[in-house]
Amino acid sequence: MKKKHVVLKEKLNVFNTKKILDYDYTSYVIYSVIMGIVVGFATVIFHESIDFFNELFFKQTAKGLYFLGAAAVIALPAIGMLIQSLMIYGAPEIAKNRGVVEVIKAVATKGYRIPLRNTIFHFIAPVISIGSGNTVGPEGPAAQLGGGLANKLAYLFNLSDTKKKVLTAAGSGAAIAAIFNTPMGGIFFALEIVLLNEFSTSTFPALILSSVTSSAVSRVFLGNKSVFYFSSPQVGDYLNLYYYAILGVMAGILSLSFIRYSNFLDNFISKKILKKIPRWVLMTFVGIIMGISGYFYKDIFGIGYYGINHILSSSLAWHIVAVLLILKFLLVPMILNSGGFGGIFAPSLFMGACLGFLYATGLNYLSGNQFDTTAFVLVAMGAVLGGINFIPISSILIIFEMTKDYSFILPLMLAVVTSTMIVQIILKKSIHERHLEKQGYRVSAKGEINLLKSLTAKQVMKNDIVLVKEDTPLPEIVKHLIESAHNTFYMIDDNGKITGTITETELRPIITEYEHIRNVLVARDVASSSVTLIREDETLDNVLKKFEAKGADEFPVVSASNSNKILGTISRHDVITAYNKESLKTDIVEGLSHELLNISKIKKTQVFEGYSILEKTAPPQFVGKSLIELKIRSRYGLEVLVVKKTNSPFDDNEKEVVVPDPNYIIQQGDELILFGSDDKIERALNW
C-alpha cells in the first residue's frame, strides 16, 4: 500500500510539473502573439504616417512655396532637416539613443529598458525625415519602434528578464517582417542583429509567432504584394555562376567603402564641423544638397523603392543609374551623421540595385551576351544588404520572400556570402557593434555587453574616507598615514570640497627633511592638486577606464546631484572584485539553470566545498522592501542570485525566474535563491 502511495505521489508530481510547463508555454505563445499584433499595427501606422507626411511636404507645403516654382522641392528636405534639428535640441539625450543599437542594448544589458518617450520620439523623427524626401530607409527606425514597444509591453506584463529580452528581440524582428512582408527575414534579422547571432531553440517560438502575426496584420492593411515589381528573373546557365561570384566581390567592396566613408564622415562632422557651426545650420545645408539632388534626379527622393522598380524595369539609362548610385552613396551618411533620422536597409537595397544593373549592362556590352538584368539586380540587392549590415541569412531570406522566386536562390546565396565574407574579414565587426563601442559598450564573444556596464560606483563603493583640511599640520597627516588602513587622504577646503590628494608619493620626498619642516608645512603644501571625482551613478566600466588612464588605485565618490557632497571611495580592487562576483553569479545562474527550476524539491544545493545555494521564501519582514534597503549582502553575507516570483494569478506553482537589480521590491510569495558560505546559509534557514 505504501509503495502504491509513493508511485501515485510521483505521478502527481509529474502531472503538476507538466501542467506548469504547459501553462508557461501557453502564456509564452499568448505574449508572443500579442506582441506581434501590437507591433504589426504600429508598423502599419508608421508606414501610413510616412505617406501622410510625404503628402504634406510634397503637395501641401510645395503649394505654399509656389513662388519658387519647380525649385520648391529643393527646400522640402531642408525644412525636414531643420525640424529634426529642433527636435534634437529639445531632447538631445533621447535623440542620441537611435537605431537598432538601442534594441541590442535592451536585449544584452541587464536591467536596460527602452522608455516609451524614446520610442515615440524615434517614431516621429524618421517619419519627418523620410516624409520630407530625405534619402534614408524606414527599416531601422521600424525595428527600434517594434523593439521599444515589445520592451515596454514585456515590463507591463511583468515578465522574467529572459522573456523580456527574447520578446524585445522578437518585436524588432516582427517590425522588419511587417515592413518588408517577410516573416522569415524578420526572424533571422532578430537573430543576426539584435541577438548578435546567439542562436537558442528557446527563442524561436517567440520570434516565429511575433513575426508571422505582425506580417499577417501588415498584409491585411497594406496588401499582400511585394514592394518591388519585376518579371521572373532568368539566371541562365549555371556554368555562369562565377559571374555572380564576381558580383559578390564587387558588392563587398561597395559595402566596405560605404561603411568606411560613413565612419570617416561621422568623425569629421563630430570633431571638426560641429565645433565650428551649429547643428541646425549643418542639417539645413545637407537638406539643401538633398533637395538639389532630388530636383535633378527625383528617384533619389525618399525611401527609394520607386527608383528600384524603375531600375528593375530597365526604364533608366545606365548613366542615370550610375549618378543615382553615387548620390545615394554620398548622401545617406551625410544625412545620418549630420543628425538626420532613418535607416540604411533601403539605401543598401537601392545601391545594390544600381550596382547589379550597371554590372549586368556592362557584362552584356563587353561579352555580347544578353544576360537578364533583373536577376543581377536582385542578387546585388541582397549582396549589398548583407555586406553593409552583416546579415547574410536575413538578406537571402528577405530577397527570396519579397520575390517569391526560387530560381535564383543559388546565385543569391553565392553573392551574399561572398560580399559578407569580404566585409567581415577586413572589418571583423559589424556596423552595429562599432556603434556600441563608440557609446562605451564592449561586446563579448557571446554577444553579452560587459558586465561592468550593469554596475555603478554606488553599489560597490566604501563609505569610509579620510578627509583632512587644507591647514592640517604635517605631523597630524603622518600620524593618519601610519594609523589608517587607507593609503590615500583627500584634502578639503572650508566648504567641504575636495581640492587635492595626499599619498605616500607626496610625502616620501620630504621624509628626509621631516625634522626641520614638520612645524612649517601643512596639507596644502604637500597635496597634489590633481583630483579625479567619480559620480555615484557612473558605471564601473567608466571607472575602470579612469583607473587605467590616471594610473591611480583609488578615487573619491561624490553625489550625482552635488559634486561637493562626498560619499566615500572606490578602489581598483573594489571594481575587480565586483566584476569577479558578477561573473561568478552569471556562471552559477547559467550553469545551474536546471537545478534552479527544480530547486523546490531539494531546497539546498552545494555548489562547491563550503558554499551552497538555498531557496528561501521571503520572510514577512522583507516584503515591500527593495534589495538595496535590505542589504542582504552586508547584513547576512549572502548573494541574491535570482528571485522566483509567482507569475500566474491562477496557479501559485507557476514561477518566473528573475535576475533582480538593487531596486527590486520583494513581493509576498517571492522565493529568494541565495548563494553563500554554508554557515551563512544555515543562519538563513532560521529567518
pLDDT tens for residues 392-430? Answer: 988 998 888 877 777 788 899 999 999 999 998 998 777
Averaged pLDDT, 643-659: 61
- What was the pLDDT predicted at 21? 41
- Among 110-114, 459-463, 558-562, the range scoring the smallest mean pLDDT is 110-114
- What was the pLDDT predicted at 326? 96
Averaged pLDDT, 124-130: 93
Q: What is the DSSP letter of 191?
A: I
Q: Which residues contact 59 (CB under 8 A, 6 or more apart)?
A: none
Contact 185, 191 (CB under 8 A): no
Distances (CA, A) of 182 to 32, 211, 307, 382: 17, 8, 21, 14
Rg (alpha carbons) of the chain, rounded to whole number = 30
Alpha-carbon distance of 450 to 216, in angstroms, equals 37
Averaged pLDDT, 311-339: 94
pLDDT above 90 as % of the chain = 24
Averaged pLDDT, 657-681: 81
In this predicted structure, the answer to whether residue 386 has a pLDDT above a threshold of 90 is: yes
Averaged pLDDT, 31-45: 90
Averaged pLDDT, 319-339: 95
Alpha-carbon distance of 363 to 409, in angstroms, equals 21
∠ Cα 614 618 621 (to 5°): 135
pLDDT tens for residues 247-292? Answer: 999 999 999 999 999 999 998 998 889 988 999 999 999 999 999 9
Distances (CA, A) of 363 to 157, 235, 239, 378: 57, 14, 16, 16
Alpha-carbon distance of 522 to 641, in angstroms, equals 49
C-alpha cell at 32: 508572443
Distances (CA, A) of 513 to 473, 505, 519, 600: 15, 15, 11, 69
Where is pLDDT greater, at 438 or 122? 122
Is 350 buried (19+), middle (13-18) or exposed (0-12) by CB count in 10 A? buried
pLDDT band at 593 (very low <50, low <70, confident <90, very high): very low
Averaged pLDDT, 653-657: 61
∠ Cα 72 77 78 (to 5°): 90
Is 667 buried (19+), middle (13-18) or exposed (0-12) by CB count in 10 A? middle
Alpha-carbon distance of 223 to 228, in angstroms, equals 13
pLDDT above 70 as % of the chain = 81
In this predicted structure, the answer to whether residue 13 has a pLDDT above a threshold of 90 is: no
Q: What superfamily does domain 592-684 belong to in CATH?
A: Regulator of K+ conductance, C-terminal domain (3.30.70.1450)
Averaged pLDDT, 641-664: 66
Averaged pLDDT, 70-98: 87
pLDDT band at 600 (very low <50, low <70, confident <90, very high): very low
In this predicted structure, the answer to whether residue 454 has a pLDDT above a threshold of 70 is: no
Averaged pLDDT, 540-557: 81
Q: Which range scores top for mean pLDDT: 6-10, 356-360, 609-613?
A: 356-360
What's the one-letter identity of residue 495?
N
pLDDT band at 300 (very low <50, low <70, confident <90, very high): very high
Q: Do domains 453-572 and 592-684 have the same CATH topology?
A: no
- Among 147-161, 343-357, 368-382, 435-449, the range scoring the smallest mean pLDDT is 435-449
- Residues 571, 577, 583, 589: is their CA dihedral positive or negative? negative
State the DSSP H helix or E strand holding residue 80, giving kind and residue range, or none if neither.
Answer: helix 72-90
CATH code of domain 9-222: 1.10.3080.10
- Tell me the average pLDDT of the chain: 80
Alpha-carbon distance of 106 to 452, in angstroms, equals 15
DSSP of 407-476: TTHHHHHHHHHHHHHHHHHHH-S-HHHHHHHHTT--B-TTS-B-GGGG-BHHHH-BS---EEETT-BHHH
State the residue for C-alpha cell 607626496: 506
Averaged pLDDT, 66-83: 79
Q: Which range scores top for mean pLDDT: 10-14, 60-64, 511-515, 681-685?
A: 681-685
pLDDT tens for residues 225-246? Answer: 777 887 777 777 777 888 999 9
Q: Which range scores top for mean pLDDT: 280-294, 502-516, 552-566?
A: 280-294
The answer to whether the predicted template modeling score (pTM) of the entire model surpasses 0.75 is no
Where is pLDDT greater, at 537 or 482? 537
- What was the pLDDT predicted at 415? 94
- What was the pLDDT predicted at 279? 93
Out of 3.30.43.10, 1.10.760.10, 1.10.3080.10, 1.10.3210.10, the CATH code matching 238-281+293-438 is 1.10.3080.10
* Strand 611-617 with 671-677, pairing: antiparallel
Closest C-alpha among 504, 509, 511 to residue 484? 504
Closest C-alpha among 258, 341, 255, 299 to residue 73? 299
Contact 399, 228 (CB under 8 A): no
Maximal CA-CA distance, the chain: 99
Mention the CATH class of domain 453-572.
alpha beta
3-state secondary structure 236-271: CCHHHHHHHHHHHHHHHHHHHHHHHHHHHHHHHHHH
- What was the pLDDT predicted at 441? 62
Contact 207, 190 (CB under 8 A): yes
Averaged pLDDT, 69-91: 87
- What was the pLDDT predicted at 202? 62
pLDDT tens for residues 146-178? Answer: 988 988 888 888 777 777 888 888 888 888 888
Contact 398, 408 (CB under 8 A): no
- What was the pLDDT predicted at 525? 77
- What was the pLDDT predicted at 607? 61
Where is pLDDT greater, at 657 or 291? 291
pLDDT band at 650 (very low <50, low <70, confident <90, very high): very low
- Among 86-90, 354-358, 655-659, the range scoring the smallest mean pLDDT is 655-659
Alpha-carbon distance of 155 to 157, in angstroms, equals 5
- What was the pLDDT predicted at 336? 94
- Among 58-62, 226-230, 322-326, 542-546, the range scoring the smallest mean pLDDT is 58-62
Question: Which phi and psi (to 5°) does residue 32 adopt?
Answer: -65, -40
Averaged pLDDT, 131-140: 90
- What was the pLDDT predicted at 554? 84
Contact 463, 123 (CB under 8 A): no
Structural domain spans, the chain: 9-222, 238-281+293-438, 453-572, 592-684
- What was the pLDDT predicted at 626? 86
